[in-house]
Structure 1
Amino acid sequence: MLNEAVLLESRSLREGVVARTEVLERVKALSLLPDDIHVTTAMVAAYFEVGVEAVKSLVKDHRDELRANGYRLLTGTELRSFKDLSQIQSRTPSLAIFSRRAVLNVAMLLRDSEVARQVRTYLLDMEYMARTAPVDNSVHSPADSLDDHIDRRITHILGTAVVPMFNALIENSGEHRKELIALRQDIQRVERRLCHHHTRLRRLEGPRKDRPLAGVMAAIDAMNGSEFEEHIAGLLRRDGCTDVVVRGGHGDRGVDITGRTPDGRPVVVQCKRFAPHNSVTSPDVQKFLGAAKVLHKADVALYVATCPFTRDALNISAEGGVTAVHRGLLEAWSAGTALNALG
């Protein structure tokens, strides 16, 4: 239910994560043109291990979205200038090029590719980690992933070029041999520290049995109203509730779901799919409170939202006996944590 397939269906979700191009290199090495920025259609096909026609067909169906993320079809003077700058030897009258963002965009659209599927899974996993990781302003920044990529390139250069160069200098030097040996040791120490840093980072990012499914909220954000109500109904049934009925939009009398807790108490639920930057306000809760307690005489009232609640809304919820299931609590509930109000 909650997996990488949500990216295939939601353009808004794709737009929200398309900047995370570092996942491409972490799934598989991406070969670039000499300009170190772009790739051709054939190179995209090779990366995803599909035929060139599959990529061309995808571009035809999603040309506007890909253009917005760096796809371009070069012809005429623009093509000649690009060939000169990139040192490309080609006699074709046109050339399609993709930026890293466009390649990642392809990964989120390409269905019949195992590599693309892995990229989507990794992408949602990173989105989950970014939202749940502890804040540490002294260490982390938006450039962390780029720094890691640079660290790995530096490590490679140190090991394959710089250290061998010092070995040759030491072998042929007499007067400065001691100083060169000391410098080589310093460089090897930096190389070891970078390798250790990269190993630790990969271990931290690796799969853990205690981590919830990747992209929980990403999947929920991609649902429509009916799908969201059915999702909440499924969570109620999972946690032992009985007589669960989705009533949204059909004589619901101010609630979307009704049922009974595992111990038989009446439960009603209001489901709101608001954008994450919005908030549930006190009038929203007051309206639901009247329907839950007066019309339905419910013992348990849940107001479930995909966004935060204002402070006044939380206060009214607490005073009126409504459980405010905000975005963070919804994520935990969806990932398997039981909701205390149902116990």
Structure 2
Amino acid sequence: MVHEGVLLESPTMRASIADRTEALDKVKALSLLSDGTHVTTSMVAHYFEVGLKTIESTVHDHRAELEGNGYRVLTGTELTSFKEVSSVDKHAGRHLALFTRRTVLNVAMLLRDSVVAAQVRRYLLDAEARQRFPQGSRPVENSVVHNLVEWLDERIERSVAEQLAQYDTRMARVAEDSVRAVLAQTVVPLLNHAVRADGEQRREMSEIRRELARIDRALRARMPANGMTAVDAMTPREFEDHVAGLCRRDGCVGVTGCDARDPGDGDGHGPRLGGAGSTDLLGRAADGRTLVVRCGHIAPYRKVESEDVRRFVGMAKDEYEADVALFVTAATFTSAALDLAVRHGVTAVHRRLLEAWSGGATLHVLR
């Protein structure tokens, strides 16, 4: 069985079991906001029975990993829209941090000083062990071997002390030899079996580490050599191919370019998205949902405007009846554009989210 410390230290191991959110309710009921999806920072602190500062410190230290698992901070019009459809106090502050169940599970694998988090980790590891080792074939842990050796030493010392109380030094040596002989016939075979099982476990862990390293290298290989600098240097066609590759990596099928193009209106600042600066992709998600993607290749200092999103909504929803609509750009979105995307069910993949997606994270809407 994998030790609990591996989850605390290995991002790769955490990512491999990040979908097992059922572990949260197995340990303790997790309350959600009225949207049935999110929880606030205070709700996470209440669940793990720790202070707000502990959760905020964890987010600060592991923000990129948590954002890859659904953590985000709402501000401006996006926060206002969320307050209208949730149970959040409408007079709350100017920003609101939201966690998904997947993010809360991620926090459970990072918190060191929470009894509830430790129980969640143990449940995850026990479930992993039950899946990988059928009943009766599960290897003995290192701790079992160590505890058994300590128990043996304690029993020997106790037996010798009892013999010394009744016999002289010579008889004590005879008694010690007798105790060791009995133990050698009964317990040592069990120890030998435990050592062999421990060796098998170590070999299996080495194979798992090599496989995780191979997967990590493969994921990193999909990210351009110079990160977002390389993305910025792409042509529109190369950017479209890069986004199409990310979709296919996450299980989408039949992802190809389509002929839908908006004419753009020319505003003195270059063409609007939907004109020369963008291309579109069509395909299906792994579960069969219709997928439409707009690849907005513009300079990183520019912003996607609400009009750009409105054009895409008309094309994706009305013309193609998209179940999943992605607006992908290496730039950022205005607050109005983000608000419009949320209201029309469009996933706005901005620069920071694209960087995480290119680095191996999976978009929540494609899972």
Shorter-chain TM-score tier: 0.3 to 0.5
TM-score, with normalisation over the residues of structure 2? 0.39
Scaled by the length of structure 1, what TM-score is found?
A: 0.41
